[in-house]
Structures are given as structure tokens and as C-alpha cells.
Amino acid sequence: MDFRDSPEEAAFRKEIREWLEANIPADWDRSQLSLIPPEDRVDMLRDWQRRLHEGGWAGISWPKEYGGRGATLIEQAIFNQEVARQKAPPPINVIGLGMAGPTIINHGSHEQKNRYLEKILSAEEIWCQGFSEPGAGSDLAGLRSTAILDGDSWIINGQKVWTSLAHVSQWCIFLARTDTTAPKHKGITYFLVDMSSPGIEVRPLRQITGSADFNEMFFTDVRVPRESILGEVNDGWRIAMTTLLHERGTLGFALSVGARVALDELIGLARETKKNGKPAFEDPTIRQRLASLHVEVESLRLNNYRALTGFMKSGMPGPEGSLSKLIWSESMQRLGDLAVEILGPAGMLERWDANPRVNTWQFIHLRSRGHTIEAGTSEILRNIVAERVLGLPKHK
């Protein structure tokens, strides 16, 4: 297989590079992102996404009629590579772009596509994902939130947890049980819920990084219109699988380039940090760990090409995305651990808001704990890889 750009792809890459160079704000510094106060950060990232959309760079592979660029998945991947390489700001609406939007494209009616997609791209409406509940994370089909039809409305009750971005979202993709007598995978319906509906309470969860990007959500007699469902009543499990495949597959490509960039920076850190009077890079054990990380990041890149090939053939991300997410999350943990070790006591003791060089690595180290839990834990992903990628027998 030839991984080099065709002449058209090279021209596309050049166009993105030039656009990013001309448009990334002059004062932007990715290592400072976690230092920006949360409200300002949301405004700043929303403005950036609006600018991307106006430039025609949001929803690269989405249909043109719904505001996308109508480009190929390869071009989407090239875009992700360039954004990561130039350390451009991330878009604010990651769940809208990576999960809600693709699911609406796959399963929504024409009216729903018209209503929601363009506003996802422009970040006018931010989305969150209300799937997990206390007691229903890995065993998502065990969820207990309910929706009961009452005239022209559904009445929703229940509790969700770990809902990223719920505190700034206008819409939520939400799973609720609509048939309590059916087998657990069969009685679930997929809702598109307006977050301003009365009866929704959002409570932030503070993480070890100091930020509060995740939330608990409590739904008490929340009334939503009858047409707020995506697909058919009680067919929500099948539609949720589309969302999860996109979560692990579509986002994976951008993440792998991010891991490459982080590893290159880590190699730089090892060269410039002294350990026992010599650059840490000369320590054989550190070199060995850097070499292992290089192998992991390369295998991630190649697996992503494999996943992309499957996606282009079938039109849907495949189970290879679970392998990418698994390698990425565990590599990022090893990478963060090694960085903090190279920094020595400063990595643990220096104030994160006083030293940007330390702050980035502390953030990666602490945030990466959650990487092996979110979007499927490592154990669950290993089960998927064993059964659906390698074709091993199902566990009993």
C-alpha cells in the first residue's frame, strides 16, 4: 500500500496548511489551554470552530447540502493530520462533530438533518452524550432512565453520569428505556433532547486535573416532543452502536496524530532535561521506553490506515477503531508517566500554573487516567478486539 499523497491530496494538504497558518490566532499557545478560565475557553473555542466553518473546514466529509464540504474520508484524515501538526485549537463541539452529527447523518430524517447539522458545524449548538448511568457504563444496555409517551410528548426520568460538556450544551443525544418488559437491548430509544427543557439539572464533577468538564445530569419529568426521537421507538440500541463506532473510529485518526506530536515533544524534553548530569535522552532505560512508544505510535498510525480503508469500503467505522482507541489511551498514559519521571521532582511539585513546560505534562499525565475508561474501558475494548477484529471465540 502506498501511503504517500496523490497530487490532488498534496494540493489539498497545502491548501489546509496555508489556511491554518493564516487563521490560527497569533496569540494561540496550545500548552496554555488548560490555564484559560473555563468560560473564556468555551468562547474562544466556539469562535475558532465558527471560523473553521466559515472557511469550509468543519464537517469535511459531511454532505454539502447540510453544510459540509462533501470531501472524501482521506481528505478528512489529511485535515486532522494538519490540525494536529500545527497544534491548532480543537473545535469546541467534539461530540456534535464526532458522534451526534454522524449518527444523525446515518439515521435521521431529512427534516432532522436540516434542523441540526449546520448548527453543529458552526458550533451555534453544542452537543453532549447522555448514555452512561451509575450502574450502566460498560453494561450500557442495563440503563434505567425511562421515557413514557404521554399524548404528544415523552416524559423522561433518570440519572446520567460523566456527561462531558453538558454544562455548555444546547442538545443531548440521550438513551432511555421505552419498553421495560422487552429484553434489555430491545427496549431502548434514542432521543435528541433540548437541554433547556424544564426538569434537567446539571451538576459538575471536578477532576484531578482541576477542571470540571464532566457532569452528572438529573432528569425529573422532562417533557420533550414526540418527534424528538432518532430512528424508531425501541430501536435505540442499534443507533447507539453507530454513535460508539464513530466515537472510537472517526475521532481515532486525529488522536493518533496528536500522540505523534506529543511523543516528538517528549523526545525534545528528554534531550533538554538533565538527569545525573547528562541529558535524560542518553539514559538507556529512557531511550528504551521512548523507542517502545515510537513503535506503539507507529502501529497506531498503521492501524488507523487499516480502519480508514474499511470505513471507505463500508461507509461505517469498523471495530478496528476499538484497537486504535485502546493503543492510543494506554500509550498516552505511558507517555505522561515517562514525561513526569523525566521532569523529576518538578513534574510533581512545581505549580502547574507557574510553569507552562511542566503544566502540559502534568495535564497529560493526570488526564490520561480517564482515557482508558472513557469511550469504552480497556477491558471492554480488548473483548471487542478479540471477538470482532481477531475473530476469537466469544467469551461465555
Ligand X SMILES: Cc1cc2nc3c(=O)[nH]c(=O)nc-3n(C[C@H](O)[C@H](O)[C@H](O)COP(=O)(O)OP(=O)(O)OC[C@H]3O[C@@H](n4cnc5c(N)ncnc54)[C@H](O)[C@@H]3O)c2cc1C
> Measured from the CB atom, is 108 or 376 closer to ligand X?
376
> Measured from the CB atom, is 215 or 360 closer to ligand X?
215
Under the binding rule (CB under 6 A), the answer on residue 379 touching ligand X is yes
> Is 115 in contact with 121 (CB distance < 8 Å)?
no
Window contacting ligand X (CB under 6 A); options: 221-229, 249-257, 259-267, 372-380: 372-380
Among residues 341, 340, 330, the alpha carbon closest in space to that of 285 is found at: 341
Under the binding rule (CB under 6 A), the answer on residue 209 touching ligand X is no
How buried is residue 68: exposed, middle or buried, by Cβ count under 10 Å (0-12/13-18/19+)? Answer: buried
Nearest residue to ligand X, by Cβ distance, number only: 137
> Is 89 in contact with 44 (CB distance < 8 Å)?
yes
Q: Mapping DSSP to helix (H, G, I), strand (E, B) and coil, where does residue 193 land?
A: strand
Among residues 144, 220, 149, the alpha carbon closest in space to that of 184 is found at: 144
> Measured from the CB atom, is 252 or 370 closer to ligand X?
370
Window contacting ligand X (CB under 6 A); options: 23-31, 159-167, 191-199, 332-340: 159-167
121 φ/ψ angles, rounded to the nearest 5 degrees: -65, -40
Alpha helices in the chain (DSSP H): 7-23, 38-54, 73-85, 94-95, 101-107, 110-121, 236-272, 284-314, 320-343, 345-349, 356-371, 378-384
Minimal distance, residue 12 CB to ligand X, in Å: 32
Q: Which of 31, 132, 153, 157 binds ligand X (CB under 6 A)?
A: 132
> Measured from the CB atom, is 205 or 346 closer to ligand X?
205
Contacts with ligand X, 164-203, as mask; x by CB under 6 A: x---------------------------------------
230 φ/ψ angles, rounded to the nearest 5 degrees: -105, 125
Under the binding rule (CB under 6 A), the answer on residue 377 touching ligand X is yes
Minimal distance, residue 136 CB to ligand X, in Å: 7
> Measured from the CB atom, is 155 or 366 closer to ligand X?
366
Q: Which of 191, 322, 370, 385 binds ligand X (CB under 6 A)?
A: 370
What lies within 8 Å, CB to CB, of 222 at 6+ separation is: 155, 156, 157, 193, 197, 198, 199, 200
Under the binding rule (CB under 6 A), the answer on residue 387 touching ligand X is no
Q: Which of 186, 380, 386, 388 binds ligand X (CB under 6 A)?
A: 380
Q: How many residues bind ligand X (CB under 6 A)?
A: 17
Under the binding rule (CB under 6 A), the answer on residue 374 touching ligand X is yes
Minimal distance, residue 214 CB to ligand X, in Å: 5
Strands 153-161 and 127-130: unpaired
Kindly tell me the sign of the dihedral angle through the C-alpha atoms of 174, 175, 177, 179: positive
> Is 225 in contact with 152 (CB distance < 8 Å)?
yes
Minimal distance, residue 348 CB to ligand X, in Å: 22
Under the binding rule (CB under 6 A), the answer on residue 122 touching ligand X is no
> Measured from the CB atom, is 57 or 162 closer to ligand X?
162
Minimal distance, residue 13 CB to ligand X, in Å: 32
Of 247, 330, 350, 374, catalytic: 247
Minimal distance, residue 137 CB to ligand X, in Å: 2
Window contacting ligand X (CB under 6 A); options: 59-67, 216-224, 344-352, 369-377: 369-377
Under the binding rule (CB under 6 A), the answer on residue 138 touching ligand X is yes
Under the binding rule (CB under 6 A), the answer on residue 127 touching ligand X is no
Q: Which of 48, 131, 154, 171 binds ligand X (CB under 6 A)?
A: 131
> Is 213 in contact with 207 (CB distance < 8 Å)?
yes
> Measured from the CB atom, is 81 or 329 closer to ligand X?
329
What lies within 8 Å, CB to CB, of 25 at 6+ separation is: 48, 89
> Measured from the CB atom, is 12 or 328 closer to ligand X?
328
Catalytic residue status for 247? yes
DSSP string across 24-71: S-TT--GGGGGGS-HHHHHHHHHHHHHHHHHTT-SSTTS-GGGTS---
**Grid cell at residue 165:** 460538556
The strand pairing partners of 214, in sequence order, are: 205
Q: Which residues bind ligand X (CB under 6 A)?
A: 129-132, 137-138, 162-164, 214, 370, 373-374, 377, 379-380, 383
Could you list the active site residues? 247
